[in-house]
Amino acid sequence: PDTLCSSDYYGLSSSPRGHVTSPGQEHIFWNIDGPLECSNRFIPAVNQSISLQITLIRLSPDPHCHTECGDSSCRCVVNAKPLPQIDHLKVVTESGLLVACLCGDFQQEWLPVGLRSWSPVRLIYYVSRYSWETKGFQYTADYKFIADSYCGHHTTTQHTGFIESGNLTETGQLNHFFHQTCTWLLDSHVERQLT
């Protein structure tokens, strides 16, 4: 962890399932006055995925930001103020790709907002002005490490054939997104060229 309130969850050594909640209630935060950023990083092992579901979020309405959810993600739409001046919760990949961002008057009927990923992701809690008297917003997210070989590391030694990714869909879930990084290793024991 790189900050006061960040933590890492590893697929092989952490609890296989659990939940995380908004920080800031512990006495260690009593002397903070200013921005507060906390992250929970979820790191699945090889042939594992992480399922993350935001099940509760209580943000204060903010005229400078609202959330829009669609087929590919939920995003924070800002006006007049940049995002670092607005309370928000976001999910990003290790490479910095934004998967979901929630801010402002988020509609509770959009919950849960979920993600399934085969590579590490961060859940980032950001309060633009934290103090002991005016603590940040509340959220709860459930996580689960899933043992699967759907999109992990695969090795094949066949000299001909096809490599296909499966069709992964979960029906009936609004605002559930997928982030996949699949690796196939072609291991030829004979001097050959790929065509």
Which of helix, strand or coil describes residue 175? coil
Which of helix, strand or coil describes residue 96? coil
Summarised one tens digit per residue, pLDDT across range 17-43 is: 999 998 877 777 777 888 999 999 999
- Return the bridge partners of 115, or none: 52, 177
Position 119, amino acid: S
Is residue 5 pLDDT above 60, yes or no? yes
What's the whole-number mean pLDDT along residues 127-134? 87
pLDDT at 29: 76
pLDDT at 92: 95
DSSP annotation string for 24-58: --SGGGTT--EEEEEEEEEE--TTEEEEEEEEEEE
- According to DSSP, the β-strands at 98-103 and 113-117 are unpaired
Query: Which option is the CATH number for 7-186: 3.40.50.720, 2.60.120.290, 3.40.1190.20, 3.40.50.1370?
Result: 2.60.120.290
Domains in the chain: boundaries? 7-186
- The model's pTM is 0.84
pLDDT at 4: 75
The fraction of the chain above a pLDDT of 90, given in percent, is: 46
Is residue 184 pLDDT above 70, yes or no? no
pLDDT at 90: 96
